[in-house]
Amino acid sequence: MRFRFIAVERAYHTVTILCRCLRVTRTGFYAWQARPESRHARDDRRLKVLVRASFDESRQRYGSPRIHADLLEQQEQVSRKRIVRLMQEEGLVARQRKRSKQTTMSDHDQPVAVNDRHLTIKALEMALKRRGPGAGLLHHSDQGCTYASQDYQARLRAAGIVCSMSRRGNCWDNAVMESFFSTVKSELAGQLASYGDAKMELFDFIEVFYNQRRRHSTLGQISPAAFERRAMTQAA
């Protein structure tokens, strides 16, 4: 540890002074410096590259549990404690989730977006076209007027979809989506300068990162897409 300290601090102090303060010999320090790199050190150097790659691919949001899962998936036999140490040595700190601001406020005089049932029906049509669900699918939502509208309900019935709605004023009945909305608000806050930016950023966040790449602890540290593929394989 003393020799390693000298190797770091020699950029600011002479080796002679450092060795004298730490009561080691210069000969011993230079012998330590010239020794062959250990296998453990070589592995650390290689793993740091993988750790940083996982960290960057997660948009700097992964901590040690998810990076550990990434490396295990790559057949790397490494402990989580080692991942923590390597991240500390590299100065990698996951971006903290920002506290989201309250967005549902009635006591203001600002313009309010109109509830557009045509927008929700368009989103439903897109989902039906892309996913092609069979009859009996359960569609869960809150009691918003767009979901309760006659047009929307008629389209659900035509597709053989069973409608389910949460209790009034009870966000816990729709906890999964509420959690997702909170994630979107906290991780994209301040990045959406216009409607066009919002469309591009949301598409990239949801379709490219969140569904395909982001690991979820509730899913066993795998992505939603991987979880669905596994469930379909098991059901086959």
* Residue 180 and residue 130 share a domain: yes
Residue with tokens 């035509």: 158
Asked if the structure places residue 109 within a domain, the reply is no
Query: DSSP letters of 18-69?
Result: HHHHHT--HHHHHHHHHSPPPHHHHHHHHHHHHHHHHHHHTTS---HHHHHH
* Residue 161 and residue 211 share a domain: no
Model confidence pTM above 0.85: no
* Residue 194 and residue 183 share a domain: no
- Domain with 202 in it: 190-236
* Residue 126 and residue 168 share a domain: yes
* Residue 124 and residue 92 share a domain: no
> CA 155, CA 116: separation in Å to the nearest integer?
15
* Residue 124 and residue 166 share a domain: yes
Asked if the structure places residue 105 within a domain, the reply is no
Give the pLDDT confidence of 106-125 residue by residue, as tens digits: 566 666 566 677 888 999 99
Please enumerate in sequence order all residues whose Cβ is within 8 A of that of 50, keeping only pairs 6 or more positions apart, or say none: 70, 71, 74, 76
Give the pLDDT confidence of 151-176 residue by residue, as tens digits: 999 999 999 999 999 998 888 888 88
Give the pLDDT confidence of 61-110 residue by residue, as tens digits: 899 999 999 999 999 999 999 999 999 999 999 877 666 555 555 566 66
Write out the two tokens for 215.
């690991």
CA distances from 64 to 42, 49, 58, 76 (A): 20, 14, 12, 14
